[in-house]
Amino acid sequence: MNREKLKAWVQASRPPFFVATLIPLTAGAVLAGRQGSFDFLHFFLVLFASFLVHFATNISNDYFDHMQGTDAGESIGGSRVLQEGKITVTELGQAIVLLYTVAALTGFYLVWTLKLWAILPLMALAFFSSLFYVAPPVKYGYHGLGEFFVAINMGPVMVMGSNWVILGRVDWTALPVSFPIGLMVALILYYQSLPDMETDRAVGKRTLAVRLGKSGARIFLVSFWIAIYTSIALLTLTGCFSRIAWYTLLTLPIPIKVWRLVVSTHDWVELDSYGKYIRIFYFVNGLILIAALF
């Protein structure tokens, strides 16, 4: 593989978004370690399989959006490797099969060796959600359900799944901890859909933002931030997080800045360049919440 092709695959993987997977898995591992149970190999394998699924999710979205013509023309969604001719459709399809296969084998290895048969439905949900975000016949992302599935998978599924594998049993105290994490990842997806509202509407992709319209989309953006900070406050007051979690309030300038940008920007396509602020918001708050679990 030459350097240009390698750069194309890195572009397809969308590295900045991998932190979305790292935070919930680490939170689950920390909760397990707090109870005196931590196995680095098991945690590494969980990370490995999850990153493969995340990679597969990203390129399968590119693949199926391309096949359905929803990432063509003026759309700014996806990695654009297909549109730029850097990777062929066949290569992308082969990579999807390979990534899901290796991830599934890694997951089954953990299930088999640790006798965690009860976790299989959770794994099945993760694989289903990953593949059918835009893949037919389900393509739930086309029907405004993307944020819901992302919140569930990047919150409860990942935090509890990681904790379950490392601890060897279900620990329900991990469930409430996962809520603000899942909401923050869903916020990333939601914000990323704002610049593509018009092109999504034109091709029949009825994302949540498209369904809400600009006015409703603004209100829902604020509701995300309110839900995130409220859940963190409640979980801190009830002892799920230590007082360190209050430091998340230091990130308030980020949503304030983003809100001003959203309100003042006439052409929402320009909002794409500000997505980094939402990822920073998630990364910083995620690290604070992990620290608040020790």
CATH number, domain containing residue 225: 1.10.600
Question: Tens of pLDDT along 165-192?
Answer: 999 999 999 999 999 999 999 999 999 9
Integer Cα distance of 240 and 236 in angstroms: 6
* Residues of the chain where predicted confidence (pLDDT) is lower than 70: 1, 71-79
Tally the domains of the chain: 1
- Could you give the CA distance from residue 85 to residue 68 in angstroms, rounded to a whole number? 17
What is the C-alpha to C-alpha distance for residues 11 and 5, in angstroms, rounded to an integer? 10
33-84 tens-digit pLDDT: 998 888 899 999 999 999 999 999 999 988 888 887 776 655 666 667 877 7
User: Which structural domain, as residue segments, surrounds residue 124?
Assistant: 3-291
Q: How far apart are CA 119 and CA 117, in angstroms?
A: 5
